[in-house]
């Protein structure tokens, strides 16, 4: 797991540690000191900790004019024991919504497991963004992770599912991801209304 780095090809567009509105502003990274672990395996030091002991992330991109953020996660998402959604919501998402970010693409390619609890933080997150036309999308969730998420009906608050698991986001620019996600959501809504 220590080989898995946060996606880095957008660093010429955005670096969270250099953004004074980011919750990770001013953070300094030691490329040779591995401190954080998932399943007793060290993870790459570029991942940001935000309070959880099993889930880490990286804000890959933010465009304040488009109100759009891309976040990549790694680890075990455990709401049941450690309430990871609370940490993600309070320490990362709230800092971004404070600065009017209302559209969230959350890349879950490296989320190995999901253990659910209740959906109250997801509902709160959804309520925070929906009035501004915002949304939350979980991209590329593993099948078993998606199944657990759907078992507590996260799809009521978050765009998840097969449609959002076929996005090869690493080959796109952030603006293309935004366009693609908005297209998917618009067409999903149209399909539901016919």
pLDDT over 60 (residue 44): yes
Confidence (pLDDT) at 41 = 79
The pLDDT mean for the chain works out to 91
Confidence (pLDDT) at 52 = 94
* pLDDT above 90: percentage of residues in the chain: 78
Confidence (pLDDT) at 188 = 62
Partners of 73 in the beta sheet?
Answer: 57
Confidence (pLDDT) at 135 = 97
Q: Are the CB atoms for 84 and 122 separated by under 8 Å?
A: no
Confidence (pLDDT) at 192 = 39
pLDDT over 60 (residue 129): yes
pLDDT over 80 (residue 10): yes
Mean pLDDT of the region 94-111: 98
pLDDT in tens, 138-177: 999 999 999 999 999 999 999 999 999 989 999 999 999 9
Domains of the chain: 16-193 (3.30.750.24)
Q: Are the CB atoms for 76 and 115 separated by under 8 Å?
A: yes
* pLDDT above 70: percentage of residues in the chain: 95
pLDDT in tens, 111-122: 999 999 999 999
Helices (H), 51-141: 84-87, 94-98, 120-130
pLDDT over 80 (residue 78): yes
pLDDT over 70 (residue 84): yes
Confidence (pLDDT) at 1 = 56
Partners of 137 in the beta sheet?
Answer: 105, 159
Neighbours of 91 (CB within 10 A): 17
Q: Is 49 left (phi over 0), alpha (psi -120 to 50) or beta?
A: beta
Strands (E), 79-155: 103-115, 135-139
Question: H or E segment at 73?
Answer: strand 68-78
pTM summary value = 0.93
The residue with greater pLDDT, 40 or 50, is: 50
pLDDT over 90 (residue 190): no
Q: Are the CB atoms for 47 and 58 separated by under 8 Å?
A: yes
Partners of 48 in the beta sheet?
Answer: 57
């Amino acid at each position: 797991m220590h080989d898995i780095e946060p996606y880095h090809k957008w660093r010429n567009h955005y670096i969270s540690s250099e953004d004074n509105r980011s919750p990770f502003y001013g953070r300094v990274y030691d490329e040779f000191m591995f401190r954080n672990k998932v399943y007793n395996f060290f993870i790459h030091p570029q991942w940001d900790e935000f309070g959880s002991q099993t889930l880490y992330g990286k804000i890959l991109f933010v465009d304040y004019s488009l109100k759009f953020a891309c976040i990549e996660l790694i680890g075990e998402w455990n709401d049941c024991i450690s309430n990871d959604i609370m940490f993600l919501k309070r320490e990362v998402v709230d800092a971004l919504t404070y600065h009017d970010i209302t559209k969230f693409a959350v890349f879950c390619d490296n989320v190995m497991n999901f253990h659910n609890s209740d959906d109250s933080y997801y509902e709160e997150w959804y309520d925070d963004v929906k009035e501004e036309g915002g949304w939350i999308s979980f991209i590329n969730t593993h099948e078993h992770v998606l199944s657990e998420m759907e078992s507590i009906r996260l799809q009521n608050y978050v765009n998840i599912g097969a449609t959002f698991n076929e996005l090869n986001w690493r080959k796109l620019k952030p603006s293309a991801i935004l366009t693609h996600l908005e297209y998917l959501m618009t067409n999903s809504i149209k399909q539901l209304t016919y």
